Amino acid sequence: MIYKIHHLHCGSFCPLCAPLFGQTGLKAHFVCHCLLLETDRGLVLVATGLGIQDYLHSKKRLGKLIHYFAAIVPDQHLSAFHQIQQLGFKPNDVWHILVTHLDFDHAGGIADFPNATVHILSNEFNAAQTLSAKNKLRYRPQQFQQHAYWHFLEHAAGETWFNFHRVQGFNIFKDEILMIPLLGHTAGHCGIAIKQQEGYLLFCGDAYYSHLELNPKYRVWGLNWAEQLLAFDNQQRLQSLQALQTLAQTQPQIEIICAHDPLDLKKYQI
């Protein structure tokens, strides 16, 4: 049973490339939007943002290119570990972590919760073990390679959920939490759907970067170019985005959010 959903701000980036991400001005503003679920199976973290060690040793952990280009706001109190403490919980009470993918800005906090089980699509984990030129930029294995507890889900299995296929529920949560394949940004990228009193909250990770993209008429060249550049498979990315646009148009009871849009996060901040 899911009792409450908390929206966490687990990182901020201010790179000098606002037009490439559909924003105005010179500096873009990104957040690492994560979720903390209070459940009858302990605390569940959806995405982890940057971890404590990423903040303390960003050049070593993330590389000089990311350190300088991303312009990470150096505040370790933005880590999920500290955010959870601020809410009055113990980080050891996080029993499960659901990750949309293992990019450095989504998996950095895994190391801060050594006793939690990380749930992930197996093809995403496998991709992070094969460090091609592009993968070397996105994955930082030192963030998660020492983690002991993993639960791998196979993309070939699953059921239909609205206009999505191969969707898998988690038995431990009585299928109130679903893993939705949203391939393209990475080889095993997925979304996490969480049952609410009416409808669902669908956390889409990096399937898109701006809430405006849920409107199929929205077109910004720079944003599309940036998303294509960062995609593992751009055709799959576009298919995933189109499926999300259809869901947004036909199922208004489903709240759809992404990981980096500050306006998505602001909607839920008190």
Question: Following DSSP, what letter does each residue of the chain receive, concatenated?
Answer: -EEEEEEEEEEEE--S-GGGGT--SSS--EEEEEEEEEEBTEEEEE---S-HHHHHTHHHHH-HHHHHHHTB---GGGSHHHHHHHTT--GGGEEEEE-S--BHHHHGGGGG-TTSEEEEEHHHHHHTTS--HHHHHHB-GGGTTT---EEEE-TT--EEETTEEEEEE-GGGTTSEEEEE-TTSSTT-EEEEEE-SSSEEEE-TTS-S-GGGGSTT---HHHHHHHHHH-S-HHHHHHHHHHHHHHHHH-TTSEEE-SS-HHHHHTT--
Nearest-angstrom CA–CA distance, 76 and 261: 20
Pair 135, 204: CB distance under 8 Å: no
Q: Average per-residue pLDDT in the chain?
A: 94
Q: The tokens 């199976």 sit on which residue?
A: 41
Q: Can you tell me the mean pLDDT for 166-176?
A: 93
The tokens for 39 are 């459940």
Nearest-angstrom CA–CA distance, 53 and 39: 28
Residue 270 lies in a domain: no
The tokens for 50 are 């940057």
Q: Can you tell me the mean pLDDT for 240-267?
A: 97
Number of domains in the chain: 1
Here the CATH number for the domain that contains residue 218 is 3.60.15.10
pLDDT for 68 equals 82
pLDDT for 23 equals 85
Q: Confidence class of residue 22 from pLDDT cuts 50, 70 and 90? A: confident
The residue among 119, 257, 115 whose CA lies nearest residue 188 is 119
* Cβ burial, residue 144 (10 Å; 0-12/13-18/19+): buried
pLDDT > 90: percent of the chain: 82
pLDDT digits (tens, 9 = 90+) for 44-79: 999 999 999 999 999 899 988 888 888 899 999 999
pLDDT for 270 equals 63
Quick one: CA dihedral 180, 182, 188, 192, positive or negative? negative
Is residue 131 pLDDT above 80, yes or no? Answer: no
Q: Confidence class of residue 176 from pLDDT cuts 50, 70 and 90? A: very high
pLDDT for 132 equals 81
| Structural domain containing residue 32 | 2-265
Q: Which residues pair with 257 in a beta bridge?
A: 203
Q: Can you tell me the mean pLDDT for 165-186?
A: 95
